[in-house]
Amino acid sequence: MDPIEQFHIVNFFALGKLGNVEIAFTNSALFMLIAVVGLTLFLVAGTAGGKAVPTRLQSTAELTYEFVVSMLRSTAGSEGMRFFPFVFTIFMFVLLLNMFGLIPYAFTVTSHIIITAALALTVFFTVLIYGLIRHGFHFFNLFVPKGVPIYILPMIVFIEVLSFISRPISHSVRLFANMLAGHIALKVFAGFIILLGGALGALGWAGGVLPFAMIVALTALEALVAFLQAYVFAVLTCIYLNDAIHPGH
Amino acid sequence: MFDFKYLNNKDRFLTRTNPLSMVRAAFRAAEQQRNLKSTRVESMADGTRGKGDRKEPPDDEAALSARLQRLGERLDNASRPSENVSGPRSTADASAFARGFRLSTELVAGVVVGALIGWLLDRWLGISPWGLIVFLLLGFAAGVLNVMRAAGVVRERRLDD
């Protein structure tokens, strides 16, 4: 009945200690492992045949490839293709974890901000480090927009830097909050059915049809949100990477 | 015809968002980039602003098709950046939800980062509360900038080169 209970981390077995922190194999780690192994198997099996007339599995694998390629090319240009493995991995990983969360009794890994923040920070530092290596000091032109009068330039630069720093926050919070809120809403509506049935008996169970219909609708919406958020996460990754490739001016 | 012009002008006045014009002074390079909504209305009111349009009869086929073409081009230009960041168009409701959520997180992220940096500066330099005040305001500005970038109102930096 507790809508938060689904997010509890359960330790399955300990792997050792890092300083004072216990490193354990958790349910979160289990689902990440399932996602990675499943994704690898899917792509290896999908690309093994290489037939001219693709099988269903092969065309699905090709479809995901085409989807990410067009997304990356339209936002970061053909130069962005060097980041294709990175973007593809992030997109498929997040998509699979989001989708797993919809299966009853499954654990939603992306509903923990530490996961999404780690992903967003990886993107952030990739942009920063690659941009600095590739463009050197020129990369900081990113913070100096063209055509700004000199007397407000210092303030604009401050604002641009803050805007840059705030990226990983909005990047990670968006995915995390969407998944968290959606799953809590599902559990709350499910709880209504139990509450109604417990309080009003047969009448309550009959009335429970209404929240049940809501759950069905919400589950469909959640499937959409799961895909959309993975897509948005990947598109923003592409946009940020584009800044590293072309800092402008 | 006169009534239409009047209505269009009124619409333009109503739908033109004021922060846009304030920011445009700072981002003079972004002059061509416009809000989708205001572009639409401006293009409809094109006849009142076009160079030779006023003298020509309103039912001139050539002028009309030229204006339609211009409208199409502008709509393409205006809608391109927003398509990059929002979800698929077919799922109107959920993508509008995602878009709204994206905009709100952008704003909050800017404010939070500004407040955090201000607070840390206060602690390190002992200048409380000035760091918080200044950086909260700057963070708010950064949040608004984030939102306008996400909404495609301000031209993204990547289109500059």
pLDDT tens-digit profile of A131-146?
999 988 888 888 888 8
- Does the CB of A228 have a partner CB in chain B at under 8 Å? yes
pLDDT digits (tens, 9 = 90+) for B127-140: 878 889 999 999 99
Structure tokens at B94: 């959920």
pLDDT digits (tens, 9 = 90+) for B2-33: 444 444 444 444 444 444 444 444 444 444 44
Q: For residue A230, what pLDDT is reported? A: 94
pTM given for the model: 0.72
pLDDT at residue A112 greater than cutoff 90 = yes
pLDDT class of B160 with cuts at 50, 70, 90: very low
* Number of Cβ pairs < 8 A linking chain A and chain B: 112
- Does the CB of B35 have a partner CB in chain A at under 8 Å? no
> Is this complex's ipTM strictly greater than 0.85?
no
pLDDT at residue A46 greater than cutoff 50 = yes
Q: For residue A184, what pLDDT is reported? A: 92
Cβ atoms within 10 Å, residue B56: 13
Helix (H, G, I), strand (E, B) or coil at A23: strand
Of B97, B98, B145, the CB nearest to A159: B145
Give the domain ranges of chain B.
Answer: 1-85, 88-161
Q: In the 8-state DSSP scheme, what is residue A142?
A: G
Q: Where are the alpha helices (DSSP H) in B45-90?
A: 46-49, 61-85
- State how far the Cα of B121 lies from the Cα of B111, in Å rounded to an integer: 15
Q: What is the CA radius of gyration of chain B?
A: 21
Q: Where are the alpha helices (DSSP H) in chain A?
A: 27-48, 56-76, 84-100, 113-135, 153-165, 167-200, 202-207, 209-245
pLDDT class of B59 with cuts at 50, 70, 90: low
- State how far the Cα of B82 lies from the Cα of A177, in Å rounded to an integer: 22
pLDDT digits (tens, 9 = 90+) for A171-210: 999 999 999 999 999 999 998 888 888 888 888 888 889 9
